[in-house]
Amino acid sequence: MCLFIYDILMAKQEYPTISLFSGAMGLDYGMENAGFKTRIAVEINKVAVETIKANTKDLPVINSPIQQVSTMEILKGAGLSVGEAVVVQGGPCCQSFSTAGNRGSLSDPRGALFKDFCRIVGEAQPRFFVMENVTGLLSAAIKHRPLKERGPGFPPLAPEEELGSAFKVILEELTTLNYHIIYGLLNAADYGTPQIRLRVVIIGSRDGEEISLPAPTHSKTGEKGKLKWVSLGKALRKVKSEEWSNFSENTLSHLKYIKPGQNWTSLPETLQKEALGAAFESWGGRKGFCRRLSYSSPAPSLTTAPNGRATMLCHPEENRPLSVEEYMRIQEFPVGHIFEGSTSQKYILIGNAVPLSLGEAIGKGLLKTIRKTQKRGLPADAETRKGIVQCADPELEKRLNNRKKTQLPPPKHRLNPDPKAAKEWMAQVGASIYAKNEHTKDIDVSYQKCCSPLPSHI
């Protein structure tokens, strides 16, 4: 019955989608560039809603907490029946999964919003769904234990405190939808975005169709027929900047020593501690301090506060943060696109968006699947694919299966710095010290190797 409905919709060349957690609609505009049509948006943030309405006059928008929105209300607003939406798409609130700050994960109400995403997919029964999120989703624990409370002198980790435990729950929840599901880690720069921005992308097919992650069109060096990554210099050509936030006088006093492509590590040693403050004694995650960008490479992942001390995105030549207009260009919003709210609110909306090229690549991949099914019909094993979640990238799968269950701070930041005690504590959680010695530089704390093993499918 569902495929018959699609025969009618495809004949009219209509590819209706439902947008959840819409934000600035970067994913949606990218999908529309590929040929889809957004029929309704669900977004709680009032400034985001004002922005959506300023750019899409006729698009219905539900401005309510998604927990209070029924699937039937969404379908009615979109003018669709159960099974008629081609795609339900969106990125459930990602702050609780971010590697920055206090990771609340699933214990944070925002982290549980993926369940509402699953609820709506399960009830609306779209042909496909697309969910995107931050890379921290892969390593998040159900219950976060601060680094300072790990190691000898503290109780062993409970299973829900193991890194990666939240992602297991998410995958288990997705299996209940009875969709064929794949996931992977995509870099927006590999699809033409002038920004190195990694995102977890999860795609599901209700009918067991042959879905895949989009093949990269760009690479760092442009090998094997691909285009080279788009540089910041090329992206910002002819951009007229009119709106930006300001750096503090203290920050400006340090930036005069920083050349394009450098950060606080290039400051004179006498100024490094002054520039970082208390963060000077911490470890890891400090690349954003006194960071000046370079025209010759893509921008790093845009933050929501380019003037923040730890998230600085300073212009390559001028002593100011990237402007709102430059943010728009890097995220690939069209010239003349309207963003409502204050300067800081605009940075948040744009910084949280999915780059349009990435959304378009995902959309083109789905259209390729649709056309393949139209031509050849469903694959013979379509029914057996349902309910299976698979990693689409063998290398990523290998890293996930070999990663550790936890990570420890360097010895000087532990309650008990004794290496032997640390190994004994790690053994209690079924893990081991990854490094050959106890020096900070030898401890791999990247998300690829700091979480519990995941199966390739559940």
The string over 94-118, giving b where at least 16 C-beta atoms fall within 10 Å of a residue's C-beta and e elsewhere, is: bbbbbeeeebbbbebeebbbbbbbb
Q: What is the mean pLDDT of residues 416-436?
A: 71
Ranges 41-55, 201-215, 259-273: which has the least confidence: 259-273
CATH number for the segment(s) 232-342? 3.90.120
pLDDT of residue 431: 58
CA–CA dist 318, 322 (Å, integer): 9
Q: Which CATH architecture has domain 2-227+353-400?
A: 3-Layer(aba) Sandwich (3.40)
Ranges 124-128, 132-136, 367-371: which has the least confidence: 132-136
CA–CA dist 304, 413 (Å, integer): 29
pLDDT of residue 267: 94
Which residue among 93, 94, 290, 451 is the active-site one? 94
pLDDT of residue 384: 96
pLDDT of residue 3: 52
Q: What is the mean pLDDT of residues 30-58?
A: 97
Q: CA dihedral in degrees (40, 44, 46, 51; nearest 10)?
A: -40
pLDDT of residue 144: 83
pLDDT of residue 105: 47
Predicted confidence band at 326 (pLDDT cuts at 50, 70, 90)? very high
| Six-digit token string for 272 | 């490094």
| 336-373 pLDDT per residue, tens | 999 999 999 999 999 999 999 999 999 999 999 999 99
Question: Is the per-residue pLDDT at 1 higher than 90?
Answer: no
pLDDT of residue 163: 84
Query: Hey, which of 90-99, 109-118, 140-149, 438-447 has the most confident mean pLDDT?
Result: 140-149
Q: What is the mean pLDDT of residues 77-106?
A: 74
94 is catalytic: yes
How many other CB atoms sit within 10 Å of the CB of residue 319? 14
pLDDT of residue 414: 84
E strands in 66-163: 87-90, 128-133
Question: Is the per-residue pLDDT at 241 higher than 60?
Answer: yes
Amino acid at position 220, single letter: K
Range list for CATH 3.90.120 in the chain: 232-342
pLDDT of residue 343: 98
Range list for CATH 3.40.50.150 in the chain: 2-227+353-400
The predicted model scores a pTM of 0.87
Q: What percent of the chain has pLDDT over 70?
A: 86
User: Average model confidence (pLDDT) for the chain?
Assistant: 87
pLDDT of residue 446: 32
Ranges 15-19, 137-141, 223-227: which has the least confidence: 137-141
pLDDT of residue 107: 52
Question: Is the per-residue pLDDT at 271 higher than 50?
Answer: yes
